[in-house]
Amino acid sequence: METILSINQLSKRYGRIQAVNKLSLEVVKGQVFGILGPNGSGKSTTLGMILDLIRPDSGSFTWFGEHPSKESRKRIGAVIETPNFFPYLSARKNLEIVAKVKDYDNSDIERVLRTTGLYDRKNDKFKTYSFGMKQRLAVASALLNNPDILILDEPTNGLDPQGIAHIRELILQVASEGITIILASHLLDEVQKICNYVAVLNKGNILFSGEVHDVLAISDCIELASADNAALKAAIEAHPAFHSIIESDGILLVVFSEDVRPGAISEYLHQKNISLSHLTERKRTLEQHFLELLKDNES
Ligand SMILES: Nc1ncnc2c1ncn2[C@@H]1O[C@H](COP(=O)(O)OP(=O)(O)O)[C@@H](O)[C@H]1O
Ligand SMILES: [Mg+2]
């Protein structure tokens, strides 16, 4: 697996505030990597540092296995603040200017306009665009020169539901073309829908990181009850994937160490002559997990 970005013990302090605290992470090719954290957790500062916009106090990072350079910068597309284009110029013209500043030729402009769904409006002035279209133009601009990685900081902030849906679809489409993505967001729902990997950030520290799927799977539990809960409990504890059990109001909440389907459990118990009066899968969402992590971090 090719490492796209490797961050090693990166720190940044603003006066008394430790915005980012010895943060380390790796992003590998093809990942849609979510940096999830509440406001002020250090997401933007982290992105600013890896884009050479903010100077770290200490720590280091590499892009594509090498020291950051002008060449590596050309392989990175980023949308990190509210889009800033010339209001009286068209999308097409604005992109020509971006291309000129970045020393790219104009051959990629039509492609990025199509990708972002702005092709039909390419000759309209920027100021006539909806906020969602403005944001998509920012993505178009970041996609110029076909980068290996696209970095987005809170890309759906301030958008209406339709605008949000458009941007999310666009991100997934870009990801499906094999472009690695880093998405910073304070929205769990967004990370859950878009990302396959997540690092949960709080107060400049990574609390947890892993595949989004794993985060969900670990926290699933199955509710069980039978006429003889003692026998049920013994049988469940003997299951090879058994992890833990909580008893509450005559219902056993069982967590398995791997993904175990309710059907398989029912079958397993049936073989042990235990019949269930209750069987429900309870998904603890990433949100609950996330909130719990934050609570732990506070105390
Ligand atoms: N230029 C700055 N000057 C002083 N404090 C800052 C500056 N930029 C960020 N901070 C502080 O650093 C912390 C992290 O901010 P930021 O990286 O913007 O978080 P996020 O993007 O997760 O909301 C916050 O407490 C914020 O107030
Ligand atoms: Mg931010």
Q: Please check whether residues 121 and 265 belong to one and the same domain.
A: no
CA-nearest residue, atom 16 of ligand 1: 42
pLDDT at 218 exceeding the cut of 60? no
Residue 294: inside a domain: no
The response to whether residue 180 sits with its C-beta less than 6 Å from ligand 1 reads no
Average pLDDT over residues 52-57: 96
pLDDT-based confidence at 215, cuts 50/70/90? low
Identify the pLDDT of residue 298.
61
Q: Please check whether residues 160 and 258 belong to one and the same domain.
A: no
Residue 233: inside a domain: yes
CA distance 175 to 170: 9
Q: Tell which atom from ligand 1 comes closest to the C-alpha of 154.
A: 21
Q: Please check whether residues 126 and 38 belong to one and the same domain.
A: yes
pLDDT-based confidence at 183, cuts 50/70/90? very high
Q: Please check whether residues 111 and 187 belong to one and the same domain.
A: yes
Q: Which domain holds residue 74?
A: 3-211
Average pLDDT over residues 164-183: 96
Question: Mean pLDDT for the chain?
Answer: 91
Q: Please check whether residues 67 and 129 belong to one and the same domain.
A: yes
The response to whether residue 14 sits with its C-beta less than 6 Å from ligand 1 reads yes
The response to whether residue 202 sits with its C-beta less than 6 Å from ligand 1 reads no
pLDDT digits (tens, 9 = 90+) for 15-46: 999 999 999 999 999 999 999 998 899 999 99
Q: Please check whether residues 51 and 155 belong to one and the same domain.
A: yes
Task: Identify the residue with better confidence: 61 or 257.
Answer: 61
CA distance 299 to 294: 9
The response to whether residue 54 sits with its C-beta less than 6 Å from ligand 1 reads no
Ligand 1, from 10, 11, 13, 14: best to mutate by most atoms within 8 Å of Cβ? 14
Q: Tell which atom from ligand 1 comes closest to the C-alpha of 46.
A: 17
Q: Tell which atom from ligand 1 comes closest to the C-alpha of 44.
A: 21
Residue 289: inside a domain: no
- Ligand lying closest to the C-alpha of residue 43: 1
pLDDT at 296 exceeding the cut of 70? no
Identify the pLDDT of residue 69.
94
Q: Please check whether residues 32 and 82 belong to one and the same domain.
A: yes
Tell how far the Cα of 244 is from the centroid of ligand 2, in angstroms.
37
Identify the pLDDT of residue 5.
98
Q: What is the CATH number of the domain that holds 20?
A: 3.40.50.300
Q: What is the CATH number of the domain that holds 272?
A: 3.30.70
Q: Tell which atom from ligand 1 comes closest to the C-alpha of 38.
A: 22
pLDDT digits (tens, 9 = 90+) for 75-130: 999 999 777 899 999 999 999 999 999 899 899 999 999 999 999 999 999 999 99
pLDDT digits (tens, 9 = 90+) for 272-291: 999 999 998 877 666 676 77
Ligand 1, from 23, 39, 45, 53: best to mutate by most atoms within 8 Å of Cβ? 45
The response to whether residue 11 sits with its C-beta less than 6 Å from ligand 1 reads no
Q: Please check whether residues 183 and 54 belong to one and the same domain.
A: yes
Residue 113: inside a domain: yes
pLDDT at 292 exceeding the cut of 80? no
The response to whether residue 31 sits with its C-beta less than 6 Å from ligand 1 reads no
Average pLDDT over residues 131-146: 94
Query: How many structural domains compose the chain?
Result: 2
Identify the pLDDT of residue 28.
96
Out of 160, 189, 211, a domain closes at: 211
Which residues, 6+ apart, have CB-to-CB distance to 113 below 8 Å? 91, 92, 95, 119, 122, 140
- Ligand lying closest to the C-alpha of residue 19: 1
Q: Please check whether residues 124 and 8 belong to one and the same domain.
A: yes
pLDDT-based confidence at 249, cuts 50/70/90? confident
